[in-house]
């Protein structure tokens, strides 16, 4: 009985914590964090240079968002298996679907089904969306690694 409890409860928790599942960082800044976005764009350029045909294996989804009104810079990184799991749970959430639709329109990513993680993965490593709303001082980068 104790072995089953260990296997079903403790072992997965330990493995999950050791796998560095995801990273989220929220920071405040007085002005647009140009250096952070430049570093992210350079990382995306390195990914594109290493795999120009975008045929490589996708391991992570990265998101960087700056909201000028709040002065918040949000950086997040998620393993692709966690993205898939989250999108399955999120598929019925109308508000989440509206956010994805807004991003898709703003990023001009016609033909990408933002509700299907496999469609995103098939795009391969590289830039998925870049949105720069100068009037709202909102900037978004989404890429796969």
The pTM score is 0.74
Beta-carbon contacts of residue 74 (< 8 Å; ≥ 6 apart): 24, 25, 26, 63, 64, 65, 66, 67
Q: Where are the domains of the chain?
A: 20-144
Both tokens assigned to 101: 């639709």
Place of tokens 């409890």: 5
Q: How far apart are CA 24 and CA 62, in angstroms?
A: 10
Both tokens assigned to 115: 């509700």
- 18-66 confidence digits (pLDDT tens): 455 677 888 998 899 999 999 999 999 999 999 999 999 999 999 999 9
């Amino acid at each position: 009985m104790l072995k089953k409890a260990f296997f079903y409860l403790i072992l997965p928790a330990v493995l999950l914590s050791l796998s560095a599942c995801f990273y989220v960082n929220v920071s405040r800044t007085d002005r647009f964090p140009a250096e952070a976005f430049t570093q992210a764009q350079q990382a995306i350029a390195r990914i594109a240079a290493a795999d120009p045909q975008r045929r490589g294996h996708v391991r992570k989804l990265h998101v960087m968002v700056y909201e000028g009104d709040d002065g918040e810079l949000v950086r997040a990184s998620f393993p692709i298996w966690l993205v898939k799991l989250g999108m399955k749970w999120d598929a019925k959430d109308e508000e989440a679907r509206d956010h994805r639709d807004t991003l898709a329109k703003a990023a001009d990513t016609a033909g990408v089904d933002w509700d299907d993680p496999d469609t995103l993965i098939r795009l391969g490593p590289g830039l998925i969306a870049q949105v720069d709303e100068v009037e709202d001082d909102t900037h978004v980068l989404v890429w796969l690694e």
